[in-house]
Amino acid sequence: MAEARVSVDVDQFKCPICLELLTDPVSINCGHSFCNSCIQLKWNIDANTGVYSCPLCRQRFSSRPVLGRNVMLADMVERMRKMSLHAAERQLAGPDDEECYVCAGGKCKAIKTCLVCLASYCEIHLNLHDELNPGNKHMVINVTGKLQDKICRYHDKLKDVYCCEDQKSVCVDCVTDHGGHRVIKNSIARYQQFQLHLTAQMRFEQRIKETENALKTLQKAKEEFKRSTQALEKDSEKTFEDLISLIRRQQCVVRDMIKVREQKESQQSDRIQKQLQMELVKLKNRKDELNQLSSTEDDIYFLQRMPILNAASEFQPPPKITVNTCIFDDLKRSVSNIKSQVEQICKYKTAKTEMPLIKTSTPTIREDFLRYFQPLTLDSKTAHKNLILSENNTKLTWIDCDNPCSYIPERFTYLAQALCVQGLSTCGYWEVEWGGPQVYIAVAYKGIERHGCGSCLGL
């Protein structure tokens, strides 16, 4: 790849006589340039001797040369003056910002990166770059992350291809050094990852909708429960008012029972509501991050961030909310019979109601389990040399010959096994299709032995 890096030094535009930025620059026959006033003053002194020479190279001229204004140099100097005037107004780069490649002294914050020059520029030097490279032939993108992360540290070239085995962007020379790896263009890899991105977005949309519906159901349950407790309290108070002289103590017992039950169920519903609201915020934030990532122009940044987001995009579905409207039926029947049982009411043991207001679903069929589905991809770094990965590292095939591959400490060497990239830290469900005489599928710790007989799954 052709490289063109531009660096501008302010000293190149200073007059050799006054050592200041050139003023009305002129060029003499030998090619050197000076301030018009400075060279005129120098030659006025030389007129006494009749010998005119260049102050830099000492080339002599038989007669006083005719000075010509250097239009291009004058334009460049004027631009340098403007850059100096605006230097104090520009935003200096922070520790986490990409620095301008051209700025001298205090580096300004870069706003664009040229993938041809492999350099980043602030606003002023970006205009200079565009003028030096007319025709928009260079690929200039917005600054996303550090430019150094997009350049191969071994070959100092842009990482412009994607290695499917290592699942990262590399330069062309890296592919040559590690022969046998399948590589594709970054744009193709981005398209494949974008399909996963769209699938993740659909899952987030579905989860958001389910969570919003769960919140609505929970709110209705709270309102219904509140109406039920209010109605029961009112009916019980009306009944006990007729028998206040005989059953005052029992009335207090029933009232306290209702209040305690209401408080208990209200606390439970508030706790679940808070959890659902927090999960809704997380889902919306993750959706916004995916939307921002889909609009970025930086393929490498997209590929670096997308697997991280996919690995963290799984959330447990919200619980199904079921409203129990019969929670106080036994108590209501007990209170309604108080009038006919005045003598026995003090000895009557009020029925206990332990049925919860909110019930959560337990998966029993495949459709229920699919709510916990987690897509898994195989880790090429752990795959045994007799195993071939395909279909975006979701398919594993055993071959009867050694597959040439580099040594990696994480790779299984004793048994033909491979681990998945994703870890399982929460409730999850996955499905596996297999064929052949014998296959072992298991859940193992990440630190499982890789090189000895202890690496067998299940040990």
**pLDDT digit string (tens) for 397-433?**
888 877 777 788 888 888 889 999 888 877 788 888 8
User: Looking at the structure, do residues 236 and 306 belong to the same domain, yes or no?
Assistant: yes
Strand intervals (E) in 266-358: none
Residue 404, domain extent = 362-459
Q: Quick one: pLDDT at residue 6?
A: 43
**Mean pLDDT across the chain, nearest whole number?**
77
pLDDT category at 7 given cuts 50, 70, 90 is very low
- Give the pLDDT mean for 170-177: 77
User: Looking at the structure, do residues 417 and 459 belong to the same domain, yes or no?
Assistant: yes
User: Looking at the structure, do residues 446 and 334 belong to the same domain, yes or no?
Assistant: no
Looking at the domain assignment, is residue 42 inside a domain?
A: yes
Q: Quick one: pLDDT at residue 419?
A: 92
Looking at the domain assignment, is residue 92 inside a domain?
A: no
User: Looking at the structure, do residues 394 and 333 belong to the same domain, yes or no?
Assistant: no
Looking at the domain assignment, is residue 328 inside a domain?
A: yes
**CA distances from residue 241 to 191, 229, 238, 310, 328 in whole angstroms, order as listed:** 75, 18, 5, 63, 20
**CA distances from residue 315 to 241, 273, 283, 318, 446 in whole angstroms, order as listed:** 52, 16, 8, 9, 22
CB atoms closer than 10 angstroms to residue 119: 21
Q: What's the structural domain count of the chain?
A: 3
Looking at the domain assignment, is residue 353 inside a domain?
A: yes
Of 23, 157, 143, nearest to 93 (Cα)?
A: 143
Q: What is the CATH number of the domain that holds 420?
A: 2.60.120.920
User: Looking at the structure, do residues 238 and 354 belong to the same domain, yes or no?
Assistant: yes
User: Looking at the structure, do residues 265 and 355 belong to the same domain, yes or no?
Assistant: yes
State the DSSP H helix or E strand holding residue 80, giving kind and residue range, or none if neither.
Answer: helix 71-86
277, amino acid identity: Q
Q: Quick one: pLDDT at residue 348?
A: 52
CA dihedral 338, 344, 347, 351 (to 10 degrees): -40
111-165 tens-digit pLDDT: 888 888 888 888 778 777 777 777 677 878 888 778 777 888 788 788 878 887 7
- Alpha carbons 150 and 139: distance in angstroms, whole number: 14
User: Looking at the structure, do residues 336 and 378 belong to the same domain, yes or no?
Assistant: no
HSE at residue 324, side-chain half, CA atoms within 13 A, is 14
Domain boundary among 360, 392, 418: 360
φ, ψ of residue 387 in degrees (nearest 5)? -110, 140
- Any residues with CB less than 8 A from the CB of 50 and at least 6 apart, and which? none
Q: Quick one: pLDDT at residue 3?
A: 39
User: Looking at the structure, do residues 280 and 231 belong to the same domain, yes or no?
Assistant: yes
Looking at the domain assignment, is residue 452 inside a domain?
A: yes
Q: Quick one: pLDDT at residue 309?
A: 67
User: Looking at the structure, do residues 321 and 395 belong to the same domain, yes or no?
Assistant: no
Domain boundary among 30, 60, 87: 87
- Give the pLDDT mean for 265-272: 82
Looking at the domain assignment, is residue 244 inside a domain?
A: yes
User: Looking at the structure, do residues 339 and 373 belong to the same domain, yes or no?
Assistant: no
Looking at the domain assignment, is residue 174 inside a domain?
A: no
Looking at the domain assignment, is residue 130 inside a domain?
A: no
User: Looking at the structure, do residues 221 and 237 belong to the same domain, yes or no?
Assistant: yes
Q: Quick one: pLDDT at residue 326?
A: 66
Domain boundary among 360, 381, 396: 360
- Any residues with CB less than 8 A from the CB of 305 and at least 6 apart, and which? 293
User: Looking at the structure, do residues 366 and 329 belong to the same domain, yes or no?
Assistant: no
DSSP 254: H
pLDDT category at 9 given cuts 50, 70, 90 is low
Is 422 within 8 Å of 308 (Cβ atoms)? no
